Homo-oligomer: A and B are copies of this chain.
Amino acid sequence: MPKNGAINRERILDAAQHLVIENGFAATSVDQVLKAAGTSKGAFFHHFDSKVDLARALTERYVTADIGHLRTALDATASISDPAERVVAFVRHFEDSAEEVMSAQSNCLYVAVLTEQQLVSNGTADLVNHAIEVWRKEIADLLTAAATSRDRDLGDVDALADHVFVTFEGAFLLCRSTGTPEHMRAQLGVLRRLLATTLGTA
């Protein structure tokens, strides 16, 4: 039953992702995941060797989706010929999907993963690093093109590119702490305005 097996695996991952994002990894038991997914311990251990293996699979899937969101935003802005305007539109793309993102989850899985030393130590955080590096590279390319076209000095372009990740993660924590998901759009708006002024499009 490869097809049903794959469906079952996704259902377990969906249930686990929700629980881990809401409650943290250590506070989520395999039994809670089984109950939420409506599946058996046998089915779980058919797909995952352990809870740590589940965390790795969850993170892999989340990283793939995360890089997918990046590619979608790059594609959606690819036709903008002014590189500085493209940077601003790239951030605005995420602003426009902020409510959708925040209605689906109250935090970022990366926060839950990075809080757990065992996941940082066992290589699961390396998957997050991969996402960080892909985002950094693509955004640094956008910023470099914009800086060249506008003759601006952006300083450390890699660090400025990383500031997109930093804004997302920091805004997730601000939303989570205050219980106000609207902060995600507001913080992406702050980032867009700061970049627009720096690139001279504002």
Contact = CB atoms under 8 A, between A and B. Distances in A.
B118 A115 contact: no
A17 B179 CA distance: 24
Given A114-B111, A115-B111, A159-B190, A176 B129 contact: no
A171 B170 CA distance: 8
Interface string A1-41: 00000000000000000000011111100000000000000
A155 to B, nearest CB: 5
A132 interface: yes
Contacts of A114: 107, 111, 173, 176-177
Name A's interface SS: helix
Interface string A175-195: 011110001001101110111
B110 A112 contact: no
B129 A177 contact: yes
Interface residues of A, number: 50
Which 9 pairs show the lowest CB-CB distances between chains A and B? A166-B170, A170-B170, A26-B26, A26-B27, A159-B186, A169-B170, A194-B194, A23-B117, A115-B115
Interface of A: 22-27, 107, 110-112, 114-118, 120, 125, 128-129, 132, 155-156, 159-160, 162-163, 165-171, 173-174, 176-179, 183, 186-187, 189-191, 193-195, 197-198
